[in-house]
Structure 1
Amino acid sequence: MANHKSALKRIRNSETKRLRNRYQFKTTRNAIKKLKDATNKKEAEKLFPEVTSMIDKLAKNNVIHDNKAANLKSQISRHIAAL
């Protein structure tokens, strides 16, 4: 266990951030799944800006790597184009 006040605060902060990151990443993954399951092109195109925004926010906050974000956006845009 940590001995310094600052270390205890750091543990609390990092746990809070970890939970927030997990929640945001899980929400984004669910949104991506919803978009990929969409069979209607119009519906998928409506979801696309929302999902890309979520992915960009994760990349900006270093929850996921920038390249992973680019790959995910590319993947879902190819999926929409194929519909």
Structure 2
Amino acid sequence: MANHKSALKRHRQSLIARARNRAMKTRVKNAIKAVREAVESKDTAAAQDALRAATAVLDGAASKQIIHWKTAARKVSRLNLAVNKLAV
């Protein structure tokens, strides 16, 4: 553990950022899970609503650089594909 005042502050800040990042990653996972569950239950309306919410959460995580923007785009694309297959 650091002893300098600035290093102690940096450590406190990193703990706060870590908690924020972990919370956002959990939100991302839960949003993706909600879409997959709606697709599995073959509920088109619920799947589309969950997809809309998941897209917003993924885009938010990407804009804050919690996940890479290409990772977010890939996940949105795959969820979109699953929902669109359900609608057909």
What SS is found at the alignment partner of 2:45? helix
Letter in 2 for 1:13: Q
Q: Any stretches of 5+ residues in structure 1 without a counterpart?
A: none
The alpha-carbon deviation at position 3 of structure 1 amounts to 2.4
Deviation sequence 1:44-74 (CA, Å, 0-9, x none): 1112221101001111111100110000000
How high is the sequence identity, in percent, across the aligned residues?
37
- 1:12 Cα deviation from its structure 2 partner: 0.5
Ranges in structure 2 where 5+ consecutive residues have no aligned partner = none
In 1, Cα distance between the equivalents of 2:76 and 2:37? 15
How many residues align structurally? 83
Per the alignment, residue 45 of structure 2 pairs with 42
How far apart, CA to CA, are the structure 2 residues paired with 1:47 and 1:34? Answer: 6
Aligned to 2:54: 51
Deviating beyond 6 angstroms after TM superposition, the runs of 4 or more aligned structure 1 residues are none
